[in-house]
Amino acid sequence: MRINRFLAASGLGSRRSCEELVLAGNVTVNGQVCQNLATDVTEEDFVKVGSRRILPEKHLYILLHKPRGYLCTAADTHDRRTIFDLLPAQWPRLFHVGRLDLDSEGLLILTNDGDLGLHLTHPRYKIEKEYEVLLDRAYNGAIDTPKLLRGVSIEGGRAKAESVRQVSPKVLRIVLRQGLKRQIRQMLYKVGYEVERLIRTRIGPLRLTELHAGEWRALTAAEVKGLREVKQDVPKETNIQPSAKKRPPKPKTFTGEKRERPVKRGGRSLRGAAGARDANRPSAHPATAGKAHGKQGRRTSGPGSASSTPRAGRRP
């Protein structure tokens, strides 16, 4: 794997901070200073940061039932309780996959496997998340469910539910594939409700069943494999090639004056007879009119022209 990813997987920080360590020349690989971010390393390579040897940490996958009143953060400036207060202190650095706000509770995944975290949160895969919601008053499904399925505008973008099922007059089960901030609370507020309690009960194939609030357990190998195999079931767009069948030609339209077809008499068209009679007449085409006429359109030569008649005041 790449050097920055190797260092991040060892618990040194984010990939960006590990890149800075590499570019600053603080990392050596097999005794050689490494400043190339494209360097690939394995577990057999001898990697050091300063004088400390770095070993890749074992991946952990934890399922936590987040209680209400805990923050999804590693540290809080106001000294409030965080989800990491519920975990053993000697554990390596973990991060939460997605988040739940302070007043929400339910299923949360924590791990140090960045690839799995990206797979579960990237919009491309559209992982389903199911929630149980308690409202402040009775829900009118006939009117409001179509609005939630169609989508409403909230702070952060256009939000929509994949499914909405009414369990009781004031309890809903909502499935999302998005991850906007406080999405369910804002969506229901848009259609006229306040959320009194919100519990996430499912992420992909994992369900919140036997865990009580504040409890956690490690995921099994089969559960981790199931999470990796979760993929979007939305059909992808395909490139549709145009049909090879030729389209019928468009009918031709004539925008000028309609020309009458010549009437034939005795096998000879009138157009041909008229053309024979007019063969000796001067052309009336604009391109040749200047040769036969003057600037004012009068004939300049020949009998009967203006030039053959003497003008007043001139000698003939």
The identity of residue 69, as a single letter, is: G
The identity of residue 148, as a single letter, is: L
**Cα(227)–Cα(100) distance, integer angstroms:** 19
- b/e per residue 133-142 (b: at least 16 CB within 10 A): bebeeebeee
Number of helices and strands in the chain (H, E): 8, 17
The gap between the terminal CA atoms of the chain, to the nearest Å, is 112
Count of CA atoms in the C-beta half-sphere (13 A) of 75 = 2
Under a CB-based contact definition with an 8 Å cutoff, are residues 174 and 131 in contact? Answer: yes
Q: How many CB atoms lie within 10 A of CB 41?
A: 20
**Cα(166)–Cα(143) distance, integer angstroms:** 13
**Cα(227)–Cα(2) distance, integer angstroms:** 24
- The number of residues making up the chain comes to 316
The one catalytic residue among 40, 85, 101, 136: 101
Question: What dihedral angle (degrees, nearest 10) is formed by the CA atoms of 199, 204, 205, 208?
Answer: -10
Verify whether residue 101 is a known catalytic residue.
Answer: yes
List, by residue number, the catalytic residues: 101
